[in-house]
């Protein structure tokens, strides 16, 4: 990584080990490009899913195939959760009806 972003190994190691080290946006941009993510992804406190096959440095720059698969999987999970919620709503209604 250090070589790809044109930084000596010692400086890059310090960045990886110490989250208090200030990193310029220019350097973040280089790191983001190598990793195939945005600067915002790197700065985000929320974990991200990294797909190194999308990095131009991987030798096989593919077209968001993983993102499409991830979105579809999440849609399926949401659909399943919605169905579970509907079932719970019906159970609650049935219990309320018994109480009346």
| Whether 55 contacts 36, CB under 8 Å | yes
For the chain, which residues make up each domain, given as ranges? Answer: 1-62, 64-100
Residue 90 pLDDT > 90:
yes
Dihedral angle of Cα 51, 57, 60, 61, to the nearest 10 degrees:
70
CA-to-CA distance for 57 and 50, rounded, in angstroms? 14
Find the mean pLDDT for residues 74-81: 90
pLDDT tens sequence across 9-52: 998 898 888 777 888 889 989 988 888 888 888 887 776 666 55
Element (H, E) at 34: helix 25-35
What DSSP designation does 5 have?
T
DSSP H helices, 2-64, are 9-17, 25-35, 39-43
Bigger pLDDT: 67 or 35? 35
* Single pTM value for the model: 0.46
């Amino acid at each position: 990584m250090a070589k790809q972003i044109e930084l000596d190994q010692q400086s890059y190691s310090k960045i990886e080990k110490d989250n208090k080290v200030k990193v310029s946006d220019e350097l973040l941009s280089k790191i983001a490009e190598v990793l195939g993510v945005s600067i915002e992804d790197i700065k985000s406190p929320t974990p991200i899913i990294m797909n190194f096959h999308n990095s131009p440095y991987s030798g096989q720059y593919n077209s968001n195939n993983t993102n499409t698969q991830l979105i579809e999987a999440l849609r399926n999970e949401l659909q399943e959760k919605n169905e579970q919620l509907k079932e719970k709503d019906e159970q609650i209604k049935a219990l309320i009806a018994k109480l009346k």
